Amino acid sequence: MVRHRRPRQFRRNDMYDTNLPDDEVRRRYRFSTDNIDRLVRLVELTLQRRTRRNRALTVRQQLLMTLRFLASGAFLQVIGDTFGLDVATVSRVVTEVTDCLFRLKDVVIRFSMSDADRRRVMTGLYAIRGFPGVIGCIDGTHVRIISPGGPNEVSYVNIKSFLWINVQATCDHRGMHS
């Protein structure tokens, strides 16, 4: 008796729609289309699947899935249901993409401080609050703005219908920009 494999059932997947308007892309993934393209170029050599299978996830799909997970705070199962993938696949992809992005930290994040300045700030912050090894403090806030006009104005509207921009800054132990 010959056993035949059951035909594979692939779920419909339209979450990778590349024709979304930029404000919808920003709402879903917290990045503009241009920045997503930039991230894809940064990670594509590392995340490119080396397989001959016809259903392998592209680098863009892996990145979008991870960004959606990070932007929404949803469970892996929910992301899997959204993208039509098994939770184990989502877990593996999120881990691989996050590790890949973390490895790029020294390439894309640069401090303009000298070693002497770092030691001075570390000493100052340790003296104030007992934080060892800290080279700066970071915080963010929303600042109300006047309408910039144009098609991207909707990107500056928050949930209370105010126009605002998100501002983030770093400082040293004296509260000065570092």
Closest CA to 125 of 161, 172, 89: 172
The single-letter code of the amino acid at 20 is L
Residue 8 confidence class, pLDDT cut points 50, 70, 90: low
Q: At what angle do helices 33-47 and 22-29 cross, to 10 degrees?
A: 60
Per domain, the residue ranges of the chain are 22-107, 111-171
Pair of tokens at residue 167: 């501002």
Q: Residue holding tokens 């996050």?
A: 98
pTM of this prediction exceeds 0.75: no
pLDDT in tens, 85-134: 999 999 999 999 999 999 998 888 777 788 898 899 999 999 998 989 99
The single-letter code of the amino acid at 86 is D
